[in-house]
Amino acid sequence: MDNSKYIDRKNAMRYMGCPNGIPSGLEAAVEDCESELCRVMTPRYTYVVRSYEDTARILSGEDIARHLSGCHKVAVMAVTLGASVDELIRKYQSGDVARAVITDAEASAAVEVLCDCVQREIESASGECTTTRFSPGYGDYPLTLQQDVLDFVDAGRKIGLFTGAGGMMTPSKSVTAVVGIGNDGPSRSAGCAGCGMKDTCANRKDL
């Protein structure tokens, strides 16, 4: 499998706090970290599409209700890069902090690319407009529902994704999200500009 398609160096540098590109002297390290990340990651995903009513038990809060307003279906997705990525980051943390930071940022960017791929699949299969993604922990959508979301898509059995203390996921480079279908609202391509959290998100891209 060609995992290089998940590499997004520009976004990774943004996660590192370097929006203008790779800091001088780190070019070789970034190349090496990307290569090693591609070698060890095992991207996996699962999702289900249900009616809005059928997903009500895993939805809570005014923000998610507003995000899904007018949608007649909801896609619930879970993605992960796999446990080997966590192991790689831990290895670097014990001996090369710079590479640990680079790999962590590269993995964070890679899992977002994987999410984009899954959402394109959902959008193509539905033939309808989709909203941007909305995850537990955004706004008033409580992180305490993380386990319910994972159970809803059977993520533990299907892709080896579980929750630990405080709703944090294992493997860590993983994402769960809810996507509305069929509301004629902001599509996936709207990105940060179409997200209800754009005014408060510390990690938003330039609009």
The domain 3-194 is placed in CATH, from the list 3.40.50.970, 3.40.109.40, 1.10.3210.10, 3.40.50.1580, at: 3.40.109.40
Of 71, 31, 34, 39, nearest to 54 by C-alpha is: 71
pTM: 0.89
User: So what's the pLDDT on residue 195?
Assistant: 54
The pLDDT assigned to 164 comes to: 83
User: Within 13 Å and on the Cβ side, how many CA atoms surround 9?
Assistant: 14
Q: Domain residues of the chain, as ranges?
A: 3-194
Distance CA 144, CA 66 (A): 20
Per-residue pLDDT of the chain (207 residues; tens, 9 = 90+): 799 999 999 999 999 999 999 988 999 999 999 999 999 999 999 999 999 999 999 999 999 999 999 999 999 999 999 999 999 999 999 999 999 999 999 999 999 999 999 999 999 999 998 999 999 999 999 999 999 999 999 999 999 999 987 788 999 999 999 999 986 654 544 455 555 555 655 555 554
